[in-house]
Structure 1
Amino acid sequence: MTLDIMMPFYGRIDHLKLAVESVLHQSEPDWRLVVVDDVYPDLAAGRWVQAIADPRVTYVRNTENLRPSRNYRKCVGLADTEFVTIMGCDDVMLPGYVARVRELIAAHPEATVIQPGVEVIDGEGTVYQPLADRVKRWYAPRGSGVRTLTGETMARSLIRGNWTYFPSLCWRTDVLRRSPFRLDLDVVQDLAMLIEIAEDGGTLLVDDRIVFRYRRHAASVSAVTGPDGSKFAQERVLFREAAAAFRERGWKRAARSADLHLSSRLNAATELPHARTAAGRRSLARHVFGRSADGHSPTQAG
């Protein structure tokens, strides 16, 4: 089973080279890589990819800047195989990523999406664990080895705190085609997709074996959209919609977690000191202290 690896590109060329080289160094050779350039101004990146003498590597340059969600949709449309990974152009696959994912798919054919083991690196490639990732680890499902999550358990686990790493996820391609990434949530579209998969009866497979390095740095989308509050505005939309949908299904605990979204409030609180504008401060304060959809303030969590 060939694994399609789609790599949307808009960013540092040195990071792109490391990302592409990490795919080339996979121990399992049955993969296909497509770099989808979202009209990055410097053409050197495209020339470098096109010079790679490996028929498994393809370079595509968009005719217009699509931005994240539309480019993700394009990537899904370019995929030819049953499973696809939409890898960040600044992340790194350890040599066993493809082999491990294929092994998990073979052992768990029911899986809709797979979260392999991940470690975090900074802008220079040093492994570290900042506060955001310590929190992610705390919210991640307990246990060891391979675990599966479905239904309300999956939805509540993710809505309490999104502990997954989007660029490392391996998805069923047909699921992403049936329900494309939302264009109105271009920062939290991955969480929206995972929640929809939970509602549709899909399965999230979680593995501990570390085969991927996620790069967290100051120029990432989440880092840029945090201090101005725009990321949290999108999260409020998602939490409000999720709470209503969960109630309709009778998922009371998941609905309550979506209403309160405590980890998201705390995350916004950490961004308050970094807000550069009055509008950003107001947006963040609204997210931290505002009432939930069911009328409760964050201090009424009990």
Structure 2
Amino acid sequence: MRKAPLVSILMPTYNYAKFIAHSIESALGQDLGDIELIISDNASTDNTQAVVAPYLADPRVRYHRNAENIGMTPNYNRCYELMHPDSRYVIILPADDWWEPNMLSKLVAIAEADPELTFVHCAGYKVDPEGKPLFEYMDLFAHLPSVGKHRALKELYRNNYIFAQTVLQRRSLFEQYKPYPHLYRLGFNYAPDYMLWVDIMNRGAVGYYLPEKLAYFREHPQSHTIDKNIIPRLREEVRIFETAAESCPPELEAERIANLRSRMLALAQRLLKADQEEEAKEILVKAARLDPNPSLGIRIAHFIANLPLSRGIRSKLWELAENLAFRARRSPA
């Protein structure tokens, strides 16, 4: 059997032939060389296989191609199944993103110095399809963990500050806190990483935040994070906070409910703008039932959803409710 690497790098891909070479070279070019790179090709219809072929000369690279497309989350899980069973750490590098050459060595050094850490993560940039930086990724979030060792669960409930492409997981602890054998919960396709972080941190995982910008997250028309996917993503965030009830620490139950309500309101707003009024009304009713004294944002949203007005007029009124909800989500408790 091949020697266990220190770090397993998982690279799921689908039709990313134009990006994947850059990502592979980023992984293989790390100044920490004790790695394996697991590429799981989800039955790409472009020339991904041909682009990957020259890199297979490096014994650290393993390539697997699914016979048919199995879906995004199952393909991430397939990568997880294919890695060496005894590597110490695991990290994900999507086939359209890349790292600074010293990222792994910095994260591993922190993890090696403190055996209590389940994961180490850092900052980075969001970039355009050509790789030009647009802004610092962490600027997206109003609630961040403290620098260094943390259990910033309240902040995680309020926004997903964990930059998935930078998360180095210590497998021994990760497996203890993760309540399923695979990497991601099945059924989550737009926010599976967020569900995972909530799952493991609810159960006691300890993180470490390094504020150095060492990774690049590319946004392009195939990205799951683009605006056209906001409704399915918000649906999943609602499910995340419903699912979190099974493991939420008692002292954070009120916070979980508050964040479930805020996601419901945001989802209802988007649904109404998309002319999906019936689902919007159902969501608003559920949100109101979570609180015997519904917030002003929910009451306004519910009122607008039931107005017998044109879509254009309701959309203008909806902006008022959306602004209220946005301010509520960003304001500290």
With the shorter chain as reference, the TM-score category is 0.7 to 0.9
Name the amino acid aligned to 1:102.
V
Name the amino acid aligned to 2:8.
D
Name the amino acid aligned to 1:20.
I
> What is the CA distance between 1:289 and its match in structure 2?
9.2
Residues 39 and 63 of structure 1 are in contact (CA less than 8 Å); yes or no, is this contact kept in structure 2? yes
Aligned to 2:118: 112
> What is the CA distance between 1:252 and its match in structure 2?
3.7
The one of 232, 235, 247 aligned to 2:234: 232
**SS, match of residue 221 in structure 1:** coil
What is the alpha-carbon distance in structure 1 between the residues aligned to residue 203 and residue 246 of structure 2? 16
How many residues are matched? 286
The one of 65, 82, 99 aligned to 1:93: 99
Aligned to 2:275: 278
Aligned to 1:78: 82
What is the alpha-carbon distance in structure 1 between the residues aligned to residue 217 and residue 165 of structure 2? 7
Aligned to 1:148: 149
**SS, match of residue 79 in structure 2:** helix
Q: Which has the larger radius of gyration?
A: 2
Do residues 9 (structure 1) and 8 (structure 2) align?
no
Q: Deviations over 1:84-106 (max 9, x none)?
A: 11211100111111211211111
Aligned to 1:158: 156
Change (3 A) 1:129 1:287: farther
What is the alpha-carbon distance in structure 1 between the residues aligned to residue 257 and residue 179 of structure 2? 28
Name the amino acid aligned to 2:75.
N
Change (3 A) 1:19 1:127: same
Residues 6 and 87 of structure 1 are in contact (CA less than 8 Å); yes or no, is this contact kept in structure 2? yes
Residues 235 and 267 of structure 2 are in contact (CA less than 8 Å); yes or no, is this contact kept in structure 1? no
Change (3 A) 1:293 1:206: farther
- Consecutive unaligned residues of structure 1, counting only runs of 5 or more, are none
What is the alpha-carbon distance in structure 1 between the residues aligned to residue 64 and residue 225 of structure 2? 25
**SS, match of residue 34 in structure 1:** strand
Aligned to 2:287: 291
> What is the CA distance between 1:191 and its match in structure 2?
1.3
**SS, match of residue 60 in structure 1:** strand
What is the alpha-carbon distance in structure 2 between the residues aligned to residue 252 and residue 57 of structure 1? 44
What is the alpha-carbon distance in structure 2 between the residues aligned to residue 119 and residue 285 of structure 1? 37
- TM-score of the superposition, structure 2-length normalised? 0.75
Aligned to 2:166: 168
Q: Does 1 or 2 have the higher relative contact order (CA < 8 Å, sep 6+)?
A: 1
What is the alpha-carbon distance in structure 2 between the residues aligned to residue 298 and residue 28 of structure 1? 52
Question: What does 1:119-198 correspond to in 2, within 5 Å?
Answer: 119-129=125-135, 134-136=139-141, 138-142=142-146, 144=147, 147-150=148-151, 154-174=152-172, 175-176=174-175, 179=180, 180=182, 181-198=184-201
Question: What does 1:218-229 correspond to in 2, within 5 Å?
Answer: 218-223=221-226, 226-227=229-230, 229=231
**SS, match of residue 129 in structure 1:** strand
Residues 118 and 213 of structure 1 are in contact (CA less than 8 Å); yes or no, is this contact kept in structure 2? yes
> What is the CA distance between 1:213 and its match in structure 2?
1.0
Do residues 210 (structure 1) and 213 (structure 2) align?
yes
Percent of paired sites with the same residue: 21
Aligned to 1:19: 23
> What is the CA distance between 1:193 and its match in structure 2?
1.2
> What is the CA distance between 1:161 and its match in structure 2?
0.6
> What is the CA distance between 1:126 and its match in structure 2?
0.6
What is the alpha-carbon distance in structure 2 between the residues aligned to residue 149 and residue 293 of structure 1? 33
Change (3 A) 1:195 1:57: same
Cα-Cα RMSD: 3.0
Residues 239 and 259 of structure 1 are in contact (CA less than 8 Å); yes or no, is this contact kept in structure 2? yes
Question: What does 1:26-41 correspond to in 2, within 5 Å?
Answer: 26-41=30-45
